[in-house]
Amino acid sequence: MKGMNQATDLVSTGSTEKRAERKLTDRYQALLFLAPAVLVIVSVFLYPVVKLVQYSLQVQDYGQWKWVGLANYRGLLNDDIFRQAAKNNAILLLCVPILVILSIFFAILLYEKIRGWQAYRSIVFLPYLLAIPVVGIVFSYIFQYNGILNEILRSVGLGRLALDWLADSKLALPTVMVVIIWKELGFGVILFLSRLLSVPEELYEAAKLDGASWWQTHWNITIPQLRGIIQFYSIVAVITMISWVFNYVYVMTKGGPGTSTMVSELYIYQQGFRFNLMGTASAVGVILLIVTSIVIFLQFKVRGGLDSDTE
């Protein structure tokens, strides 16, 4: 026994020095291994960003690029259409809390009906697998004035509710939001459900013995357990609403009627490719980039402040 202790001592003292040494070489080696990846990332991501910023400070005058300083940005601030687009993006952010709450709700329902969940899972997840243009086209038909939804409403005597969902400037944006939520929900549900499945069942049993009701259980156990995922999903959803909704709008409304469903991405598309104002388009691109970067930065900030309590 004594001999063995000594032996382990030797090994451990030897290894502390070695470990320090190894840490250093590990560091260099790590950098070395990272270098190619860093290079790729720099060239793939940094180059376009630099170019984007550069364009946003110029205008194209008969094929010639000219520096104009912040004129493109100033122009944007005075453009009602851009302001409408920005406002619409902001309104789309209302989808985020709705998505979070609905995802958690459905995830809990599926969790509690765990026996059949394989079948439900595919149904919930299906919309997420469909291509957005397909979804957009299908919903355009559904929401047309003489579309399926209104047909149904009329046939059950609710004809008064048969509105022109996509052509009414007050209704178009909410209608688009419904489609976005329908499509994006599946991802959230799967995300929350997979986290729920890894929550030890005994926690729920302990809560039951402690006398917690359905609400108390989920409020006190489930939600805290999901906190990290809620944050992650919220960020993803925020970014989606800011810079990933082009397809929905383009397919369903083209930004109309009027500018009632105009969003920043569609604005970029129109400025850049319809009016050939690449400078303006780039300026919007830069703004979107900055906004999403801030969101991502904030999420890291918040995350760093929280300690994960999940085992």
Partner 1 sequence: MARVVLRNVVKNFGDVRIVKNVNLEIEDKEFLVLVGPSGCGKSTTLRMVAGLEDLTSGEIIIGDRIVNDVHPKDRGIAMVFQNYALYPHMDVYENMAFGLKLAKMPKAEIDKRINEVAETLGITELLKRKPKELSGGQRQRVAVGRAIVREPDVLLMDEPLSNLDAKLRVQMRTELIKLHNRLKNTIIYVTHDQTEAMTMGTRIVVMKDGVIQQVAAPQEIYDKPVNVFVAGFIGSPTMNFINCRVISDDGKITLDAGSFRLPAPAERFTLLEKHINKEVLMGIRPENIHVGENAAQTYGDSRVEALVEVVEQLGSEVLLYLKADRYSLTVRAQAGTRAATEESIPVFINMNKIHIFETETETALF
Residues that bind partner 1 (CB under 8 A): 200, 202-203, 205-212, 216, 220-221, 224-225, 227, 307, 309-311
Instruction: Yes or no: say if 310 and 257 are a contact pair by the CB < 8 Å rule.
Output: no
- Kindly state the smallest distance separating residue 127's Cβ from partner 1, in Å: 32
Distance CA 261, CA 176 (A): 8
Question: Could you tell me the two tokens for 277?
Answer: 């104002």
Choice between 63 and 304, CB closer to partner 1:
304
Choice between 222 and 280, CB closer to partner 1:
222
- Kindly state the smallest distance separating residue 115's Cβ from partner 1, in Å: 12
Instruction: Yes or no: say if 195 and 225 are a contact pair by the CB < 8 Å rule.
Output: yes
Choice between 111 and 204, CB closer to partner 1:
204
- Kindly state the smallest distance separating residue 304's Cβ from partner 1, in Å: 17
Choice between 67 and 215, CB closer to partner 1:
215
Distance CA 50, CA 105 (A): 43
Distance CA 248, CA 166 (A): 12
- Kindly state the smallest distance separating residue 223's Cβ from partner 1, in Å: 9
- Kindly state the smallest distance separating residue 308's Cβ from partner 1, in Å: 9
Choice between 46 and 206, CB closer to partner 1:
206
Choice between 52 and 199, CB closer to partner 1:
199
> What residues contact residue 168 under an 8 Å CB cut-off, 6+ apart?
257
- Kindly state the smallest distance separating residue 302's Cβ from partner 1, in Å: 16
Choice between 2 and 160, CB closer to partner 1:
2
- Kindly state the smallest distance separating residue 225's Cβ from partner 1, in Å: 7
